[in-house]
Chain A
Amino acid sequence: MIDPDHDLESALAGLRPRPPGPAVTAALARELDPPVSRRGVILAWTAGVTSVAAALAAGLFLARPAADEAPAYQLVRAEQSPARIEVLRPVRLEDGSFARPVRVRWDNTTQWEDPRTRTRFINYRPNEQTTLLPLETY
């Protein structure tokens, strides 16, 4: 049996909701990455425990220098998404001629990884460019 709502549902699925504002993306990036200050506190605490343990056990591996704890990120991926092109409705320009606005969007994502801790640093950059294509009318 053919679902009469199917074509309407497909058309709805073709609509593109507006993305969250850049402030949301920035705020999530801050939340999802552990804050440096907290990490610093943990490292300082760890260093304290380590030094006490080192004094007690005199084990070399427990007295690892703090420099070892610093993350060493290496570039693992850099990619650019395919461009999404939108052809919008023609507009009339000030000189009376017509032009069709065309918007192109693409994203650049670069990822670095610290192989020791497997933590990743991701830079996601959405891009957008709009241009006008002149239309000839007869």
Chain B
Amino acid sequence: MPDAHADQDWRAWFAEHGARLRLIARQWTRSEADADDVVQEAFVRFWKHQRHLPGDPNALVVTSIRRAALDLLRRTDRRGVREKAVAAETETVAWFEPEADPRLQALAQSLPLLPAEQREVVILKVWGALTFEQIGEQLQLSPNTAASRWRYAMEALRKLITARAHD
């Protein structure tokens, strides 16, 4: 099969997109270290087996990240149950770089507080650059359900930001 991206510099591609790919992994993993492992494993898997495929590589890498994250969750399920409570308390690293703008800071702190099913739609849309149809395929949902979760998430984020502004 001819390589559809023969001229692509994949290291430069990862340098450009690594941060948002890691955020996508982070929401499906229990810790920062797990997110790093998942991004690494997923990107290597994509690079070895799918980089020749035509089309936008982004959706393929996101799919690879989801698979790697689910694999890791399955592998570490028993250990994870024991460690989950500890990790939730000790994990203080923010998902985003610090922001000077208080509104952005509130937004960065609010996003992890969304229910998981809303949060993954937001992250896949904003940082995964996926359409509702593609999000539906990733999460095995209808595009309408994905869009509806997005609207609920926007509403919830507005409330969380307002609540933080009044703190």
Binding site for B on A (CB under 8 A): 4-5, 8-9, 11-21, 23-25, 27-29, 31-32, 86-89, 107, 109, 120, 122, 124
Contacts and interface: CB of A to CB of B under 8 A. Distances in A.
Given A9-B125, A29-B11, A31-B47, 12 more contacts: A13-B126, A15-B107, A15-B111, A17-B19, A19-B22, A21-B36, A23-B36, A25-B18, A28-B44, A31-B44, A88-B98, A124-B11
SS class of chain B's interface: helix, strand, loop or mixed?
helix
Contacts, number: 100
A86 B151 contact: no
Interface string B145-164: 00000110010011000000
A138 to B, nearest CB: 22
Contacts of A89: 98, 100
7 contacts: A15-B96, A17-B26, A17-B127, A20-B40, A24-B39, A25-B14, A124-B15
B39 to A, nearest CB: 5
Interface residues of B, number: 43
B96 A17 contact: yes
A96 B135 CA distance: 51
Interface of B: 9-12, 14-15, 18-23, 26, 32, 35-36, 39-40, 43-44, 47, 93-100, 103-104, 107-108, 111, 122, 125-127, 150-151, 154, 157-158
SS class of chain A's interface: helix, strand, loop or mixed?
mixed
Nearest to B96: A15
Contacts of B15: 25, 107, 124
Contacts of B104: 11, 14-15
Contact of B154 (A8, A15, A109): A8
Nearest to B43: A28
A122 B157 CA distance: 41
Contacts of B11: 28-29, 32, 122, 124
Contact of A86 (B18, B97, B122): B97
A18 B154 contact: no
Contacts of A9: 125-126, 154
B40 to A, nearest CB: 5
B61 to A, nearest CB: 12
A88 B65 CA distance: 32
Contact of B22 (A5, A20, A23, A88): A20
B123 to A, nearest CB: 9
B37 to A, nearest CB: 8
Contacts of B99: 15-16
